[in-house]
Structure 1
């Protein structure tokens, strides 16, 4: 009798042990499928993302590691809270020419288009949204949304300003031929892009019912530690104030080489670091050189 009870007890323990092992294996498999390094943060049901659109956060970048380490986790948490399908593209200029923000954004657009993103945020790395009412959702196929207009941007304050953060569909960005590639150094490329939008009768919308004013975004910029390269020759200034009908997405091929692409992480939040070398026609735009 005792032997029979012992056999039954061992059989029961054996049964539950097998069930335990099977459960552990299932959990391990589920973890491997759902939480691999590549999608640890971004694994969620895409059916819940707004309108099924895909947002490319395109950040022109050079030597801003401290800002990058703040930007990636802050923006990831903010956008994930909105159930947006997004990816952060850090387009890093590693050559010796002066910084060319517009060409880097053009490159980010071209690469994100290959991955089936359908709208982009042209996004400065030193601007972080603080107000939850700021909306990064797909703007419109016929309009653009400027998230940092005059009165909201912490620094700039003129009516035609469209810098900082601008949401635009891939369709519209293609229609206006992207941004001009001739702007080396800091400034004026946004003003020229504004003209491109106006020529196509594309309306620029601003956020509505935002009451936080210039405190809507954190401007993570130390002007002493990060001085702007704003020097400009008279010839550069003269050309930069004119509408550029020659350059943009149309002449982007051949203007750059992608040296490397790597998925990196800040506090487990992923971004893609894209290192690029730009090429300059020093006869047409000699101000691209650091010494010019």
Structure 2
């Protein structure tokens, strides 16, 4: 008997059986592949094996244990910040360094400020990763220094400037910021701040939360103030990445990836718990997603207690050639949780070139090297489509020993 489409019932049954067999074969293949990858990670992800990820310069020193370096002592706050009327009329204008310094005479050398009539709950290091973009830095500090003062923060601003013209590495600069700031004082709250984001409502407080990391730049004018979350290809929250899980992420229990870039805060304890940021994301993208999954791995939540009060304006700028999109970011993200104990703050290497205590900030210029030849070869790969091929790409530490 034929159906209305001209196919016999037996043909339909055969087609259904074929589809089922293909589905089972793909699942078996993916399960074996993911199992093999996981076992290789467990066996080979030592610090020595991960040397392939490090820069191509050898004299750098390894920072080492994170816990003893970043934990300050939280104090009992006596500051009582009162919400102030806010007209939400952010005005961005070009100003000179001299004008900004004159308007912030209470800021000490190195960009340091603490309230004189009360004790703040946290001692805060505000870390800004940078290369060039001085005009944006002027705009940010011109607007934010008075805000931070009115919020009665005990803080110091650290600008971590990457030397050279090679690939930019935002996350590595943030790790360096924590490393360098912790040499100056026992900070117990670290604010990671992109230079192009300006707070619109100062009732969004720049403080840490004891129980969970904070991410306050969910609402940005460039994205119509809508929070961004997505199902990332190669999401490490999945036990296996398959064609079907990429098409139907919710069905396979995938967790939406929320951003942790822009402006975020962590206590020293939280930062130590996740071993800081990954150093592997050269170029644009992926490092904030990697940190999000490190945070979730440690059973933290990412919180924003102020909701839409934490809104930001993005200063427009041209995308730098040295910060091009990293085409392998999703491949690296697939292994974020598996390697977090071996790679991060405890494997950080860099060279400090200079440290300048300027009127409004401490500028630390660093040489972070460039990806090793093996890593550079990996970074030049292209996966079209991204999907399953990127998720199952062989990592450089696997290729190193022919696995």
Q: Give the match for residue 353 of structure 2.
A: 259
Cα separation, partners in 2 of 1:91 and 1:73, compared to 1, 3 Å: same
- Does 2:217 match 1:148? yes
Contact kept? 1:262, 1:274, Cα under 8 Å: yes
What is the aligned counterpart of 1:218 among 288, 303, 313? 313
Pick the aligned partner of 2:332 from 230, 233, 239: 239
Spell out the pairing of 1:161-240 with structure 2 (5 A cutoff): 161-210=259-308, 216-222=311-317, 224=318, 229-233=323-327, 237-240=330-333
User: Is 1:282 aligned to 2:378, yes or no?
Assistant: no
- TM-superposed deviation, 1:95: 2.7
Quote how far apart the aligned CAs of 1:50 are. 2.7
Aligned counterpart for 2:200 among listed residues 122, 125, 130: 130
Contact 1:180 1:193 in 2 (8 A): yes
TM norm structure 2 = 0.55
| 1:161/1:41 CA distance change after superposition, 3 Å | closer
Counterpart among 171, 180, 183 of residue 102 in structure 1: 171
Between 1 and 2, higher relative CO (CA 8 Å, sep ≥ 6) is seen in 2
Number of aligned residue pairs: 243
The match for 1:13 is none
Indicate if the aligned counterparts of 2:159 and 2:363 stay in contact, CA closer than 8 A.
yes
Show the counterpart of 1:50. Answer: 120
SS at match of 2:361: strand
Distance 1:130 1:250, change over 3 A: same
How far apart in 2 are the matches of 1:169 and 1:78? 21
* Cα RMSD for the two superposed structures: 2.9
Counterpart CA distance in 2 for 1:165 and 1:37 is 23
Secondary structure of the residue that 2:283 maps to in structure 1? coil
Distance 1:57 1:129, change over 3 A: same
Structure 1 regions of 5+ residues with no counterpart? 1-33
Aligned pairs for 1:20-99 (under 5 A) are: 38=109, 42=113, 44-45=115-116, 48-51=118-121, 53-99=122-168
> Cα distance 1:284–1:179, how it changes in 2: closer, same or farther (>3 A)?
farther
In 2, distance between residues paired with 1:83 and 1:100?
32
Q: Tell me: CA distance 1:153–1:193, structure 2 relative to 1, closer, same or farther (3 Å).
A: farther
Q: Which residue is 1:119 aligned to?
A: 189
**Is the Cα contact below 8 Å between 1:67 and 1:126 reproduced in 2?**
yes
SS in 2 for 1:178: coil
The alpha carbon displacement at 1:285 in A equals 1.7
Provide the secondary structure at the position in 2 that maps to 1:137.
Answer: coil
The more displaced of 182-191 and 239-248 is: 239-248
| 1:132 Cα offset (Å) | 1.9
The CA deviation string for residues 249-273 of structure 1, in whole angstroms up to 9 with x for no partner, is 1111xx20010000123xxxx1001
Whose strand fraction is larger, Structure 1's or Structure 2's? Answer: 1
List runs of 5+ in structure 2 lacking aligned partners.
1-104, 230-256, 383-403
Instruction: Compute the displacement of 1:111 (Å).
Output: 1.4
